[in-house]
Structure 1
């Protein structure tokens, strides 16, 4: 999370946006990934408890106005309420967090 924190601070400084893709389990089939390469669609929906860590990240960046424009999205539909409520906590005039289902 420290790396993500430092990257996000830089994105804000240079007026860049970020998108965070949550709960993707990547490259699940080792045999096919070895045969065809990684990132070829052998991904699945994950099931992680991430809300506390995401809140901490967004809050720490927001304390010093270092939170860049942010898109949060998840392929696990049951998590849309978590993301929708989370982005509502960090709105401002200059920063708009979005959930991909709203775009």
Structure 2
């Protein structure tokens, strides 16, 4: 089976423990928040971090505009980087295609 390079948020103190898409922490990469390049090439961690932080700011701006200064935002990569590192992982072709379809 073909695999693709990706990045995941791995807990700094617990190898193999990742931030999950829905349920906090997870150990299965299929359940983790992932970053992959559309062309299947190895992602650059610095560029990925910039994208995550830009997305956080953009979402924050949208929520503030729609709901005011007290809008609650749970998508907080800036906080995730305090407890996690972006690590290189390999994901299945199926998961890679799923990521592309959700983009």
Of Structure 1 and Structure 2, the greater strand share is in: 2
Global fold match (TM > 0.5): no
Please tell me the TM-score bracket, short chain as reference. Answer: under 0.3
Greater relative contact order structure (CA < 8 Å, 6+ sep) = 2
Q: TM-score, normalised by structure 1?
A: 0.26
Larger Rg: 1
